[in-house]
Amino acid sequence: MLFLLPQFVVDWVWDTQSLFVLFFFIFVHILFVGLLYALVRRGLATLKVDNLPSRAVLVTGCDTGFGRQITVKLDKAGLVVFAACLTDAAVEEIRKECSDQVRPFLMDVTSDSSVDEGFEFVSNNLPKSGLWAVINNAGV
């Protein structure tokens, strides 16, 4: 018995003509899924965001690691980046490392007054297009 299937299923599967149809059906579906995957992947790879220099992004936790890396990458892509750092040293390093499009400032996400000051800084320095994205990378 084939995996405890009912006898009529076993008879149908072992029938050579039905077996050919089954394999052809599976092959066509695998081919279709593969083509669909390739089309979706190619379509997603060609998506572009217009007017990057007019976009502004707020990144928190820019002292080290992912926050620093994404700040540098967004700067190279031409975006205005507000880089919220926890330490003065990180603010100075970012000023040296990045262009004038990056505006580093001090902000401690665990302090309400510091977040309020950060909000004021970003609000007063936003381009006309406004804030496009927030990358909240700061740990609590």
43-72 tens-digit pLDDT:
887 877 777 778 899 999 999 899 999 999
Q: Are 56 and 123 in contact (CB under 8 A)?
A: no
pLDDT digits (tens, 9 = 90+) for 65-122: 999 999 999 999 899 999 999 999 999 999 999 999 999 999 999 999 999 999 999 9
Looking at the domain 52-136, which fold is it?
A: Rossmann fold (3.40.50)
Phi-psi domain of 103 (left: phi exceeds 0; alpha: psi -120 through 50; beta: other): beta
Over residues 120-129, the pLDDT tens digits come to 999 999 988 8
Where are the chain's structural domains?
A: 7-45, 52-136
Structure tokens of 128?
Answer: 């006309």
On whether the pTM is more than 0.75, the answer is: no
Average pLDDT over residues 2-19: 65
Contacts (Cβ under 8 Å, ≥6 apart) of 52? 77, 78, 79
Residue 98 is classified by DSSP as S
Model confidence at 14, pLDDT cuts 50, 70, 90, reads: low
- Return the pLDDT at 43: 83
Inform me whether the pLDDT recorded for 5 exceeds 80: no
